Amino acid sequence: MRVGVVTFPGSNCDADAQRAIDGVDGLRAVRLWHGDADLAGVDAVVLPGGFSWGDYLRPGAIARVAPIVQELRRFADAGGPVLGICNGFQILCEAGLLPGALQPNRDGRFRCMDVWVKAEGRACAWLPPLSRPLRLPIAHAHGAWTAPEPELQACEDRGQLVLRYVTATGERADAANPNGSARDVAGVCNAAGNVLGLMPHPERAVHADLGSTDGLHLLTALLGRSA
């Protein structure tokens, strides 16, 4: 299965994403450039973390008009699996492929730490149902996902709030939420379930030497199997 990894000016997790994908039997990463006019026939697409276009205006605000993102809209509308990680999540929200927006962390600080997240809501292409929390790292300054209350409740009702910040034992608690995200949301999917955005970095949790292999669950889900 060929998984495209898009590089924007300012991306800094694209090589990490490529290595993580290539480390899964059955997946092969294909490098894509933000100025490309097509997706080279890939089966899935990852928008990696970083600081596309230096986060000028807002994180993801300039990247959303890149040629590759216009093609990504057509791919997603046709049911193609799309994963946005950190800055990729911000781009997907700015592009209207996911609901809501990412705001500065509630304490105004860049947060770099391991967190625990739990899968809830509907199953999606990148996230099979899981009974235990996942340990994943975060590294962001604009990670507080929010939406107007009617949209927030609609997302809740449709099961689109698929990842929540929790404690190590799986309970929601204010202290477990690192950025002030509404309803402890760490990840959101679209109504169809093929597009997922999340602030934690699964590509940095694919080997025991990195402290966790829980990120593999999001990649092996594409192949219909558990990590």
- The candidate with the shortest Cα–Cα distance to 3, out of 85, 95, 97, is 85
Sheet containing 82-85, strands listed edge to edge, beginning at the edge strand earlier in sequence: 28-33, 2-7, 44-47, 82-85, 195-198, 185-189, 163-166, 111-119, 134-140
Q: Residue 132's Cα: distance from chain center in Å? A: 19
Contact 134, 217 (CB under 8 A): yes
Pairing mode, strands 163-166 and 185-189: antiparallel
Catalytic-role residue among 13, 86, 124, 155: 86
86 counts as catalytic: yes
Catalytic-role residue among 93, 124, 140, 203: 203
Catalytic-role residue among 34, 140, 142, 201: 201
203 counts as catalytic: yes
Helix boundaries (H) for the chain: 14-22, 67-77, 87-94, 149-157, 216-220
Distance from C-alpha of 13 to C-alpha of 206, rounded to nearest angstrom: 14
Write out the catalytic residue numbers: 86, 201, 203
